[in-house]
Structure 1
Amino acid sequence: MTSETVDEWRRPGPTAAQRRLDRYFGLAATLLALFSLTLVRSTGAFLLGSPPSGLEQVLWTIAVPLPLIWRRRYPAATALVVSAAFIGAQARAVPEWQLSQWALFAAIFTLGAWGRDRRLARRLRIGVIAAMFVWMAISYTINYRSLPPDAFENAVGPVPPLLAAIVTGVMINLLFFGFAYFFGETAWIAARRQHQLAEQAEQLRRSQAEAREHAVIGERVRIARELHDVVAHHVSVMGVQAAACRRVLDKDPAKARTALASIEESARTAVDELRRMLGVLRAHDREPAEAPQQAAGIDQVETLVGRAREAGLAASLGVYGDPTPLPGSVSQAVYRVVQEAVTNTLKHATGARTLDVRIRYLAQEVEVEVTDDGRATRPPNADGLGLVGMRERVATHGGELEVGPRTGGGWRVRVRIPLPVTAGRPA
């Protein structure tokens, strides 16, 4: 927080409970001051000179501490009234000054701790303190004229007695007003820091809420992507095989049985993958020994090609280069990209007869290319779950994705994913 922001911060006003406490505090201080006046009058120690009438003494004694009942609600006005009443009582030689000076201390402290306008609060406190020292100088001057000749006859120290009295009074008042100013400023700084901590806690709470919300959204997107990859592919394959089964059911029962067996296998595989995915989502509730089985990877691409063959496509798989063990996440990403490309061919490529899947292990990357010779039934939807899922998976590993028609007809999906450099692979 900058200094300008510090000056602009306004401390909230006192609560109802604090205002009620101030009333009790002001009344208690007034009663104690009256009790102190009674004790001083009983001892007859009128150090300030001949006192005024008893009623005037009572009124001045009440006038100094009573404004403290509004000290936190109106700190500036309270400090001015209390300081003016204190000087007035001193000028009238009211004998009660012990409780009155602590009322003055409380008023200056409260102005420092609760003054909403910091510049005004500083100026008022400095002005009140300066007025007190001016009054002290005037008081010393007045009292010096009335000192008896034998006032310092017992003085034995090396310092002149009058100078010693003045230095003592100045030192005590410096400490008195210095502490009132310092503690008031410290209380205000503590309140501002507490406000900052409350704001930071609120910002942290909002940030945590936003992070949880983003995590939920991210988890929903991940679930949607997984469901799309798992369900869409197998359901598409089952749809194609079911259509083929319907066409050959009467003419070639053997082929129909084969298609039905493929549908059954695809359904079972889809259920297994759904269970695996749900197991991953609930993995935080499982023991390590109960972790779900490993996700499908690049070594199972041949299974996808086989399903495409069963669906009636002339599907082929070519692997080029020296196969290199891939990180699990990269292997799964390659598998999902091929799965989505095969699904799109089965669903959207009209007249497709061939499907070609090629995996190339290069020096610093793995490249996967899936092509067909069909015609797209509709333009590709860049915001579709399939393309979005492929793009997110590839981007996660810093790869590149190319999707579009081929020059000679058909459709191509090409992915390049960089591989971590290992000691066994040339740069």
Structure 2
Amino acid sequence: CYGALAASGIASALVRLSAPLDLVTTAYGWMLVLKTVLLVLLGGAGWWQRRRVLGRLRDSDRRRDFLWLAAGEVFLIAAATGLAAALSNTAPPVPDEPEPVTSTAEALTDYPLPAPPELATLLTTWRVDVAGMALALGLAVIYLWVHLRRPLTGTGGRRWPVARTSAWVAGCVVIFWVTNGAPGVYAPVQFSVHLSQHALLALVAVPLLVAGRFGDLVRDRIAPRSDGSAGLRELVDWKPRSRAGRWLAHPAVLALLGAAGFAAIYLTPALGAGLHTAPGRLVVLTAAVVAGAAVALPFQGRALGGGMVAGRERWVALVVGAGFLAGLALLLVLALPVVEPDWFAVMGRTWGPDAFGDQRLGGRVLLALVLTLAVLHGAVISRSRRSSEGLSVGRSASARY
């Protein structure tokens, strides 16, 4: 939450300041500086409470330290609230009034219609997406932070496989490019790119993250907490305890839920909310990532809480999840009318197929991606099964002799 608040403040400042010098030459800039100082002090207070005050309360019940810290935090929050009110009534260096729009695409997306997509354009087109950038950088930082910690005693001190770290970093790179690169630029104006963007997130980026085995890395480097609080270790070790929860966590059910969640983006009003509102877009982005995790975990033989999934259950999950996603692709190609016609059909594009042809193109791309990944995962499952059977035969032979 602290990082998200800081990122949102930086994003707000970037669009309201014309130059860094505005921070010290305008009243608006000085208020931003003061709010930044207060944010740093509040973060320091939270760190001090966690690292020092709570320990003193446990050791000697020194409540005075807690009361002083709480009073200081209340004062800082009150000052920040007052500054926020003053800031909202102060004219920024860059006016908030929007410039007049020149096209329907700009009226709907806040950006002019991009140029026709070409190979050079796809590789060089960028547009900053704060949510995607924060997600990619945050995931990379937390993984590398855990990776740099020393292995716990009793884990053997083994080196963490480079392939797993590479897979995680590659997943973060895909998230960054999909949200900030060409897919992020063309997704608001083309259904095929919009669908491909979320498909790349759910079916490429997230499986790479799952292959990074973050849960195993946390178990290797971070010990469980003993004070009753919850941290990273407790999060990755969580398992459903109720009967309904265990049923929902079954590999086939989990894959079905993930595929259904992805399909719900395009078969319900969620897509419209994601196109027309910023909160809706964040919800859709989160839904795509969560759906991808629900599909990728059973495909790769991983269960919630760190368990393993048997080969037969992986096959069932693969058939169920891939079959549902392929069904969505076929619906988009063969049966459904234009999805969100009030958006994609009125962009005024003079290049590319029309709205219906573009939707069918998106369905074909999704179908090709699903089938390709199904074949790859099927080959991995078959290879893992042959390896385990060979290991079992070898053990049996050793036991006989």
Specify if TM > 0.5: no
* More strand as a share of residues: 1
Greater Rg by CA? 1
* More helix as a share of residues: 2
Structure with greater contact order relative to length (CA < 8 Å, sep ≥ 6): 2
